[in-house]
Amino acid sequence: MYGTAIVLHTLVTAPLALGAALRPRLDNGVAKTPPMGWNTYNHYSCSPNETIVKSNAKALVDLGLADLGYRYVTTDCGWTVANRTADGSLTWNETLFPSGFPALGEYIHGLGLLFGVYEDAGIRSCQTNIEQAGSLYHESQDAALFTSWKIDALKYDNCFSDAASGYPNVNYEPSTSPSPRYANMTKALAAQNRSVLFQICEWGVDFPALWAPALGHTWRIGNDIIPAWRAIYRTLNQAVPQTSFAGPGQWPDLDMLEVGNNILTTAEEQTHFSLWAILKSPLVIGGALKDEVTSMNAESLAILSNKDVVSFNQDSLGVSATLKRRWSEEQYEVWSGPLSGGRTVAALINWADESRELTLNLADVGIQAARTLKDIWAGKTVGNVKSSYTATVAGHGVMLVELSDTTAAGTYPTAKFATTKGNSVTFGSIYANTTSANHTLLVTFSKSSTKATSITAESSSTKQKSTINVAASSRTASSSISLSAGSANTITISSTLPIDSIRIKSPTGTYYPSTAFTLAGSATLLQCGTGYCQPVGSKIGDLDSTNTAKITVPAAVSSTTSSKYVELDYINNDIAFSTSWGLGSNSRNITVSLNGGSPVRLEVPLSGRHSELFGPGLGWWDTSSLGVLIDGWKDGDNEVVVGNEAGSNAFQTWGADFVGLRVFD
């Protein structure tokens, strides 16, 4: 779905090529599937202690979570002290951990769990009120110490790390990449005789997806999750351009879970957990499972314990779901990805506050029919689903479905989709993503024709019969056919030859590059480096409510109005770093208005797949695409205006940059 074939190619091969070139990679058999566990931070902040780590570790076992795969128990910031011992060793805070870290490790191992520690690739770790020593320049000594304690995981943070600016707590725009500091710890760990899960946590600075897989097993894609619902949208918008980097041994880390912290509603927790799972993020519980005063509520525990969702995360294929479509004004979107055994998982998020009926068009996730659809949170299984599935989705909730035994989008077997009356076969639930007379109908007969013949086909869209010639000794015949956007189309074919199936192909559409648009106000056409801003090589920037780009698009429309699918090629690398605590959303709006009508708004996620600090175009040359359905096309010339009409009273005045659009006519 994202970008052109050329863009996708670079996307898929780049991390592999880098992985082969950069050594040492900690390719130690760890994290073949995303790591799962528990961490102190989201609930206890930088104030861990022995009692809570032990009681929560024990709860992982007692509550059956360890059996589901939650095994890494990591004590986050706050465990160490300001000053190293006389021989330069790190040590634990004895008030908080009276038995010591080696004993804590033994306790965790005794439960059959794995022992994780936290340190920092800076001179101090991220604790602002109480000073804590960091591992920078002590990598070998600390790696040796940690492995002598028999650790299984190291989460490695990024505070007080930028030498060039005097080691401030955070610097989101360092003059050098964090990667050499992480590489030093990789080397130090690789020199030890122990397989350690290395979790890179530098908040997405310098687009780590391009270098972190060569150094560790997981990398945080962005800044910290915050205890608020809006963090889910912000995080997903940042995940979009790097879903293709996920794979065995290398997982984009969307940050620890807020499930069970009594911040999100049950529906919100289901959405959060479902999306983290299908995007193959590590699943690290950040809620208190059990301590002297807290035990996790039953609803949250049931979410974390959902075997289907955990199995989607741990699936042997290791392929992340990707964003397929987003309806910004209507407030919902669809993600999906493949699972082993030819299955598909799809998630439809209801961003609206209210519960409502929403429809998943199976074609949006590459499927026309499924013999079995398992609706995970509704707890029901439906058979023989054709073209779409509709269900009630709670406000901020998710429809999460597993589809098995599926037929590819565009294929309609007679046995599944048609009713037959004599020589007349009527196919129902025919889906089209655009209204056009330019769809292709391909008919496949059960056996070849003996002599040349003809059949007729009639679509519910025009009610006009068209004649299709069938050559002698042929098993197929094709013609163009008119269909309306949606899945309510029917096609009736009269044929003396029995029909096995039909296939529908959408029109390829017409592309309108940014270079062909007329600019208004300060909207600017910007040239990109060779091979970037695909497929045009340039883009239009500085779009807002008055600075816009316009073009005239001819259309052939038979009914009075018509809806057409339009694919927008956009660029956005407006990353929420310091704004991530507030309203930063990693998104920008872009609007398209047709013939002066009210604009269709698409709030686009990040598209940058290069470093925002040092990469080509600072990550502002990487195109992605998303489709929108635009109503109100008329026969003849149509005026299309691209801008950001929502800009004047929104969080971000500027729209996304615009590369071009394709009208599926």
Ligand X SMILES: *[C@@H]1O[C@H](CO)[C@@H](O)[C@H](O)[C@H]1NC(C)=O
Which residues ranging from 104 to 133 are in contact with ligand X (CB under 6 A)? 130-131
CB-CB neighbours of 561 under 10 Å: 12
Give the shortest CB-553-to-ligand X separation in angstroms.
Answer: 11
Q: Is 545 in the site for ligand X (CB under 6 A)?
A: no
Among 363, 576, 592, 642, binds ligand X (CB under 6 A): 363
CB-CB neighbours of 160 under 10 Å: 25
Give the shortest CB-67-to-ligand X separation in angstroms.
Answer: 25
Among 36, 59, 66, 96, binds ligand X (CB under 6 A): 96
CA 302 from centroid of its chain's CA atoms: 24
> Who contacts 364 (Cβ-Cβ below 8 Å, separation ≥6)?
324, 325, 334, 336, 433
Q: Active site residue: 157, 206, 364, 574, which one? A: 157
Q: Is 459 in the site for ligand X (CB under 6 A)?
A: no
Q: Is 411 in the site for ligand X (CB under 6 A)?
A: no
Q: Which residue is nearest to ligand X (CB)?
A: 506
Q: Is 618 in the site for ligand X (CB under 6 A)?
A: no
- End-to-end Cα distance, the chain: 19
> Who contacts 399 (Cβ-Cβ below 8 Å, separation ≥6)?
347, 348, 350, 358, 360, 375, 377, 378, 389, 391, 393
Among 4, 6, 16, 51, binds ligand X (CB under 6 A): 51
Q: Is 441 in the site for ligand X (CB under 6 A)?
A: no
157 is catalytic: yes
Contact present, 369 and 416 (Cβ < 8 Å)? yes
Strand pairing of 114-120 and 72-75?
parallel
Q: Is 290 in the site for ligand X (CB under 6 A)?
A: no
Give the shortest CB-493-to-ligand X separation in angstroms.
Answer: 21
Task: Select 134 or 247, whichever has its Cβ closest to ligand X.
Answer: 134
Q: Is 353 in the site for ligand X (CB under 6 A)?
A: no
Contact present, 359 and 38 (Cβ < 8 Å)? no
Q: Is 181 in the site for ligand X (CB under 6 A)?
A: yes
Enumerate long-range contacts of 411-417, CB under 8 Å, 24 or more apart: 411/368, 411/501, 411/503, 412/368, 412/369, 412/501, 412/502, 412/503, 412/504, 413/369, 413/500, 413/501, 414/499, 414/500, 414/501, 414/502, 416/369, 416/384, 416/386, 417/369, 417/386
Among 38, 41, 44, 412, binds ligand X (CB under 6 A): 44
Per-residue mark of binding to ligand X, 575-614 (x: CB under 6 A): ----------x-xxx-------------x-----------
Stretch that binds ligand X, among 17-25, 47-55, 59-67, 307-315 (CB under 6 A): 47-55
Which residues ranging from 622 to 651 are in contact with ligand X (CB under 6 A)? 627, 646, 650-651
Residue 585: is it exposed, middle or buried by C-beta count within 10 angstroms (0-12/13-18/19+)?
buried
Distance CA 157, CA 344 (A): 35
Task: Select 49 or 223, whichever has its Cβ closest to ligand X.
Answer: 49
Quick check: bond before 24 cis, omega within 30? yes
Q: Is 652 in the site for ligand X (CB under 6 A)?
A: yes
Stretch that binds ligand X, among 26-34, 49-57, 99-107, 383-391 (CB under 6 A): 49-57
Contact present, 314 and 308 (Cβ < 8 Å)? no
Give the shortest CB-449-to-ligand X separation in angstroms.
Answer: 28
631 is catalytic: no
Distance CA 288, CA 298 (A): 12
The residues annotated with a catalytic role in the active site are: 157, 224
Contacting residues toward ligand X, per CB under 6 A: 44, 47, 49, 51-52, 81-83, 93, 95-96, 130-131, 180-181, 184, 193, 291-292, 325, 363-364, 433, 436-438, 506-507, 510, 556, 565, 585, 587-589, 603, 627, 646, 650-652, 664-665
